[in-house]
Amino acid sequence: MIAPSILSADFARLADEVAAVPGADWLHVDVMDAHFVPNLTIGLPVVEALLRVTDIPLDCHLMIDDPDTWAVRYAEAGAHNVTVHVEAAADPVRIAKQVRAEGARAGLSVKPNTPLEPYVELLRHYDTLLVMSVEPGFGGQKFIPEVLAKVRAARRLVDGGELTVLVEIDGGINEDTIEQAAAAGVDCFVAGSAVYGAADPAATVAGLRRAAAAASGRN
């Protein structure tokens, strides 16, 4: 699965930018509050507007200080997947239950330096694990390959039946890094500048998907 990140899109032309990736599986929306991360992007009103102009499922990544208040609102609005950070959530089990009750998938994200092991039991309440492969906050950063150890650990847990999460990765994904991420066991790849910095975003999405499928061997 390929999820283009609109963080790298032209914010003045978001509807057109969304229309430029018709083959995308999800559309990744980075919500930042300038507190949890040092950047300020978009919020719920923009997500509601996007839902009116696209059928691509929205993958909302909340990089905010108060996900306990806000996560369910994105689910209520119609987001397909709502991801919160374990480092910010006060009651992540409650968040997951609220988000799922609204018919959305619940996602849990970990920063590059956050270990996976303490949160394995918590992930049983979630549908998606988002592994950050850059420090959250800004697009265009260099991929951190060390996070792939967490991906491999998650893949083993999923393949062994201990977890049922979809494994997603976000940060520095492009034609040079997607193969190693796919080989490690990623299911869904967030790609921002690699897609929206390309002359043909739709063709880039298709190319990234082919590369990931070939490297994963799981198709």
Tokens (6 digits) for 24: 């995308």
Count the Cβ atoms, other than its own, within 10 Å of residue 178: 27
* DSSP string for residues in 112-163: TTS-SGGGTTGGGG-SEEEEESS-TT-SSPPP-GGGHHHHHHHHHHHHTTS-
Cα of 118 vs its chain's centroid, Å: 21
145 HSE (CA, 13 A, CB side): 6
Nearest 5°: the CA angle 2, 59, 161 is 75
Q: Which of 33, 59, 170, 187 is the catalytic position?
A: 170
Q: Could you confirm whether 127 is annotated as catalytic?
A: no
Q: Could you confirm whether 68 is annotated as catalytic?
A: no
Residue 47 to residue 49: CA distance in whole angstroms? 5
C-alpha to C-alpha distances, 6 to 81, 123, 152, nearest whole angstrom: 15, 26, 27
Residue 208 to residue 190: CA distance in whole angstroms? 10
Q: Which of 30, 33, 59, 187 is the catalytic position?
A: 30
Among residues 179, 136, 121, which one has the least CA distance to residue 34? 136
Q: Catalytic amino acids?
A: 30, 170
